[in-house]
Structures are given as structure tokens and as C-alpha cells.
Amino acid sequence: MKEIFAHYSGGREELIPVLQETQQHFRYLPEEAMQEIARFLKVPASTVYGVVTFYAQFKLTPLGRKIVKICRGTACHVRGGAKILEEVEKQLGIKAGETTEDLEWSLETIACFGSCALAPVMVIDNEVHGRMSPAKVKSVLSGTE
């Protein structure tokens, strides 16, 4: 944590950037890290927890090694995005917002990825897969697509 704190001056407004960098490092926000952040920025731990639970980006449990994001934007919805989500949930055996027990996969939905022209879209790590269909899900997940 000291290494992370070295990038900041300790002002309250740095809470979100500090949390973002911490999460990038641990792949989630461990309780001890949040306590240390509270001490560093001189704010109550409850404030840190309040901010963490407000923003969708912050996670309290470890994320999987691969993160699948399903876009639930309007264009994706109109072009069948909900069916893609159902199929991914079925293939991975987890619901949106969950991580598989072996920590291999996390499944998230995001408001809109802004790649509406290629709807429906799913994203694995940072690779965007456009023009999806339920039948293509299996091969995209296994990386054979």
C-alpha cells in the first residue's frame, strides 16, 4: 500500500483514484486495504466503505482471472443482448455479478460499452466481440472463435 500511497498527497478528493489503483493491484478491495486508505486520507472507514459500495466499479470479493462483460445498452438490448447474457450465465454457471468458485471467470453487465454499431456486444477482458448470437457464445468463451 505504501507504494500506492506514494503517488498521492493524502487529500480527501483522492479517495476514488486511490481505490482504483488499489483495486487494480489486488483485483478487489480487501478490508485491510480500505482501513489503511481511511487512515491515509484521514476519513472514517465508513466513508470509504460508502464510496466503495456506491460505485459499480469497486469489488469487495476477488474477481476471476478472466472477466466477461455483457453490454446491456439499448442497441444491444434491441438486438438481443439479454439472450447473450442468459446463455453466458448458463455456460459459466454463474449469474451476473458473480465469480466462479475456481476464480477463473467473473461475469458482469455494464451499462453501455459504446460499441453500439456492433451490437450485441460482449467483452472478455478488454477484447470486444461484436455481432454476437447465443449460438456463438460457447466458442467465444472457449477462445476458439
String of b and e for 69-99 (b: at least 16 CB within 10 Å)?
A: bbbbbebbeebebeebbebbbebbebebebb
Nearest approach in angstroms of CB 20 to other proteins is: 6
Q: Under a CB-based contact definition with an 8 Å cutoff, are residues 19 and 51 in contact?
A: yes
Nearest approach in angstroms of CB 121 to other proteins is: 7
- Please report the DSSP string for 25-41 in residue order: HHSS--HHHHHHHHHHH
Nearest approach in angstroms of CB 143 to other proteins is: 15
Which has the closest alpha carbon to 68: 50, 94, 39, 29?
A: 94
Complex with other proteins: residue 35 or 50, whichever CB lies closer: 50
Q: Rule CB under 8 A: which residues touch other proteins?
A: 11-17, 19-20, 41, 50-51, 54-58, 72-80, 83, 86-87, 90, 110-119, 121, 126, 128-130, 133-135, 137-138
Nearest approach in angstroms of CB 67 to other proteins is: 13
CA-based torsion, 111, 94, 104, 84: positive or negative: negative
